[in-house]
Amino acid sequence: MISVHLILFLAFGAVCVAGAINLLAQTHPINSALSLIVVMAALAGEYLLLGAEFVAAVQVIVYAGAIMVLFVFVIMLLNAGEEERTKGSRVAVLFGVPGMLIGSVLVAWVVLRHSDAGSVAAGALPGDPTRFGDLLFHDFLLPFEITSVLILIAIMGAVVLASKPQIVQKRKEH
Amino acid sequence: MVPLSYYLVLGGILFACGVAGFLIKRNIITIFMSIELMLNGVNLTFVAFAAHWHAVGGELQGLVPLSGQIFVFFVMVVAAAEAAVGLAIIIAVYRTRETLNVDRVNLLKL
Amino acid sequence: MWIAGRAIPLEITDVNVGLLLILGITSMGVYGVALAGWSSNNKYSLLGGLRASAQMVSYEISLGLSLVGVLIMTGSFSLRQIVEAQGGHFWGFIPRWNVFHGQFIGFFVYLMAAYAETNRIPFDLPEAETELVAGYHTEYSAMKFAMFFMAEYANMITVACLATLLFFGGWNGPLFGPRILQDVLPIFWFVAKVFVFLFIYIWVRGTLPRFRYDQLMAFGWKFLLPLAIVNLIATAVAVAW
């Protein structure tokens, strides 16, 4: 049945897949980064279709608005240029693209064979922040705290790794 | 009403594109972006299953149906931490090797 | 607003994660600045673009945290509910706006962070005309520069609207007169409050000197962020009791 839900799903899905294929097809990393941003924004639309509005907003704010900014910064800082064609890359494209196509067709076929699992209505999830926060801070409190510590470790690691090496003065001992 | 399998197929396609990018591309930053693409495909699968379980198995305890969304939250947090540290490593490697091509950094010693 | 006996709300839609959507869209604004600076192929633009986007990203955190105080007190992300929670008065004459209801520090943090987000004085080193040859929009002229300017002013208006909605009672204000006037007066109050904020923006621009870049970043990370966190904790403790 053609419903608005299906049309919207296909529209967002087409944008996702187009962005993903564009990421593979582009040679300059900044174009790949912009395609990835498009994929993430379209995925946020998919989450909205499923009713997970808080997840959609967090996807835009954190993933598309902070992590990808980090990627763009690094591309700008390192002045990354176009990719070069080396021996390994030709082999990889020759075997990789058909392999990926065969793999995904296989997975899609298997999944669609078992399509009697049921349908998902539009906005099925109660995705409002109240329910989300309730679950997050009551049942999932320990993973939440552990991920906070993880982020702290990541911050320290990133600062140490990316800082310029200190120049150590050698003292001449007499 | 969109069948659940459509969402799974979309997530699978994104994951497959991520894997392909990881194996095909030679620029280290693009490889990292393919990893993020894989994580996004998986996130979609989580949320689709959470919606499906909520609609189907509502009598189960409140934990199971909605925890897909919570897990997406954690996946995003881990992806952020991994992106930060990974990009810092890339910057450090670029400083010594002066290249972003993974085929050029395949020896431990120059 | 009542027309022919039916209540018509004057907003386009009331999304129940409205505030989060606004935060999401402002965080996408960093891309315009960063990509404009880099793609100009000009070292001044690149420097200005990198500095501007680093500044915007740093102050986004304090901006978000300052809003969480309001959220804790209201309990909803929906902008309509936040404004409706600010109706009424204390002791008959002080309006129950969030800025008087305990969010004064939150308002201060929000205002500082908003000035930095919109790249206005005192935080406008990345685009200062006298410093970096206009920074990230050096190479843009005519219509493209006009787009940048329009974007900056639209950002200012959005920030002013958010400040009135969250901290100054939105469209609440004394209602008087006949029925049709009572329907139109909230629009007038809202626009008046937004105008006051824009006036303050322009007033500050003419008055204060600009921060140096390291002072700017130090202010954002070492003063504003701890202050926002303290505000959050204090609000949470006050509400929990």
pTM of the model: 0.87
Maximum Cα–Cα distance for chain B, whole Å? Answer: 62
- Name the DSSP letter for residue B101: B
Residue C155 lies in a domain: yes
What is the total count of domains within chain C? 1
Whole-angstrom Cα distance, residue C188 to residue C171?
Answer: 8
Using a CB–CB cutoff of 8 Å, tell me whether A60 touches chain C.
Answer: yes
Residue C55 lies in a domain: yes
CATH architecture of B4-104: Orthogonal Bundle (1.10)
Which range is least confidently modeled, A78-92, A105-119, C119-133, C159-173?
C119-133
User: What CATH number does the domain containing A58 carry?
Assistant: 1.20.120.1200
Measured CA angle at C43 (ends A167, A79), to 5 deg: 65
Contacts of A66 in chain C (CB under 8 A): 27, 57
pLDDT at B39: 94
Contacts of B11 in chain A (CB under 8 A): none
Does one domain contain both A5 and A67?
A: yes
**pLDDT tens by residue, C153-179:** 898 899 899 888 888 887 877 777 777
To the nearest 5 percent, what fractions of chain B are helix, strand and coil? 80, 5, 15
Using a CB–CB cutoff of 8 Å, tell me whether A57 touches chain C.
Answer: yes
pLDDT at C135: 65
**pLDDT tens by residue, C1-58:** 555 556 666 777 777 788 888 888 888 888 888 888 888 777 777 878 888 888 888 8
pLDDT at C90: 62
Task: Indicate yes or no: CB of A66 within 8 angstroms of CB of C57.
Answer: yes
Residue C189 lies in a domain: yes
Identify the closest residue of chain A to C19 by CA–CA distance.
Answer: A57
Give percent above pLDDT 70 in chain A: 84
Chain C residues with CB-CB distance to A under 8 A? 15-17, 20-21, 23-25, 27-28, 30-31, 34-35, 37-38, 46, 49-50, 53-54, 57, 75, 77
| DSSP per-residue string spanning A7-57 | HHHHHHHHHHHHHHHHHHH-SSHHHHHHHHHHHHHHHHHHHHHHT-HHHHH
Residue A114 lies in a domain: no
Average predicted confidence (pLDDT) for chain C: 82
Give percent above pLDDT 70 in chain B: 88
Residue A117 lies in a domain: no
Question: B residues 11-70 near A, CB within 8 Å?
Answer: 12-14, 16-21, 23-27, 29-30, 32-34, 36-37, 40, 43-44, 47-48, 50-52, 54-56, 62-63, 66-67, 69-70
Which residues, other chains included, contact C234 with Cβ-Cβ below 8 Å and sequence gap of 6+? C105
What is the total count of domains within chain A? 2
Identify the closest residue of chain A to C16 by CA–CA distance.
Answer: A128
Provide the number of CB pairs (under 8 Å) joining chain A to chain C. 56
Task: Indicate yes or no: CB of A117 within 8 angstroms of CB of B5.
Answer: yes
Whole-angstrom Cα distance, residue A154 to residue B55?
Answer: 37
pLDDT at A67: 93
- Does pLDDT of B77 surpass 80? yes
Does one domain contain both A74 and A147?
A: no
Task: Indicate yes or no: CB of A65 within 8 angstroms of CB of C38.
Answer: no
Q: Which residues does residue C2 pair with via DSSP β-bridges, in sequence order?
A: C7
- Each domain of chain B, given as residue ranges in start order, spans 4-104
ipTM of the complex as predicted:
0.89
Contacts of A65 in chain C (CB under 8 A): 24, 27-28, 30
Chain C partners (3+ C-beta pairs within 8 A) = A
Task: Indicate yes or no: CB of A72 within 8 angstroms of CB of C34.
Answer: yes
Task: Indicate yes or no: CB of B44 within 8 angstroms of CB of A29.
Answer: no
Residue C23 lies in a domain: yes
The token pair at B50 is: 């959470």
Task: Considering only the beta carbons, identify the residue of B4, B72, B94 that sits closest to A55.
Answer: B72
Kindly state the average pLDDT of the residues B62-66. 62
In angstroms, what separates the C-alpha of B4 from chain A's closest C-alpha? 5
Chain A interface, best mutation among C13, C26, C30, C45, by max A CB count within 10 A: C30
Kindly state the average pLDDT of the residues C202-213. 86
Maximum Cα–Cα distance for chain C, whole Å? Answer: 62
Residue C125's pLDDT band, with cuts at 50, 70 and 90, is confident
Whole-angstrom Cα distance, residue C136 to residue C126?
Answer: 7
Task: Indicate yes or no: CB of A158 within 8 angstroms of CB of B18.
Answer: no
Which range is least confidently modeled, A64-78, A86-100, B48-62?
B48-62
Neighbour-count burial for A66-81, b at 16+ CB within 10 Å, e otherwise: bbbbbbbbbbbebebe
Range of the domain at C215: 12-240
Residue C133's pLDDT band, with cuts at 50, 70 and 90, is low
Nearest to C54 by CA among A88, A144, A76: A76
Range of the domain at A160: 128-167
What radius of gyration, in Å, describes the C-alpha atoms of chain C? 20
Contacts of C20 in chain A (CB under 8 A): 54, 57-58, 61, 129
Contacts of B6 in chain A (CB under 8 A): 9, 13
Residue A4's pLDDT band, with cuts at 50, 70 and 90, is confident
- Compute the half-sphere exposure of residue C200: CA atoms within 13 Å on the CB side of its CA: 15
Task: Give alpha helix (H) positions in A51-140.
Answer: 53-58, 68-78, 87-113, 129-138
Does one domain contain both A134 and A73?
A: no
Determine how many CB atoms are found less than 10 A away from the CB of residue A123: 15
